[in-house]
Amino acid sequence: MYLSELDGPNKGCRQAAIDGHKEIGRRCRELGVDTIVVFDVHWLVNSEYHINCGPQFSGCYTSNELPHFIKNLPYAYPGNPELGHLIANVANEMDVATRAHSDTTLELEYGTLVPMRYMNEDQHFKVVSVSGWCVWHDLPTSVKFGQAVRKAIEEHYDGTVAILASGSLSHHFAENGTAPQFM
């Protein structure tokens, strides 16, 4: 979506998706959401579930995966260490190996940053990012992790949370070298 903002042949090509994300943000505000938990399939990990729940995220992002599409993207969002640690604690109690990271320079990936650019432009929502792509996650464990997220929110968190599944759930990439044909 971000490349849709940049001058060039793709300017405006993803406006409908941008408008849709802004509408999701509007509805979340209307419902009193204070935090958005993003399942980010562009954050690849090799072991366990990881939760990026720093108190604040800010910087200028260029994608390692697609540096020609997403580059020099400024961002600043509040995080929610409390919720991230609650989710990790409940997941571990349910025997799902999970780690929360709130005291590190770990950055957000674009599967979180791009939707937040449109849903959370005013930094209204706190952000928690969950690694959604692990080569070793199996479906039963992923189901159990999802149950842990729900339990942590419903039984332990005093707030209103929205869950966003971001990334490859909505698209796939064109074969190498053919992307311009599909823009």
Query: Domain coordinates of the chain in residue numbers?
Result: 2-6+13-168
Could you tell me if 69 and 2 are in contact, meaning their C-beta atoms sit under 8 angstroms apart? yes
pTM value is 0.90
pLDDT tens sequence for the chain (183 residues):
777 787 888 888 888 989 999 999 999 999 999 999 999 988 888 889 999 999 999 999 999 888 888 889 999 999 999 999 999 999 999 999 999 999 999 999 999 999 999 999 999 999 999 997 777 778 889 999 999 999 999 999 999 999 999 865 455 566 777 767 765
- Indicate the class that CATH gives domain 2-6+13-168: alpha beta
Residue 59 has a pLDDT of 96
Q: What string of DSSP letters covers 92-159?
A: HHTT--EEEE-SS-PPPPHHHHHHHHHH-TT--SEEEEEEEEETT--HHHHHHHHHHHHHHHHHH--S
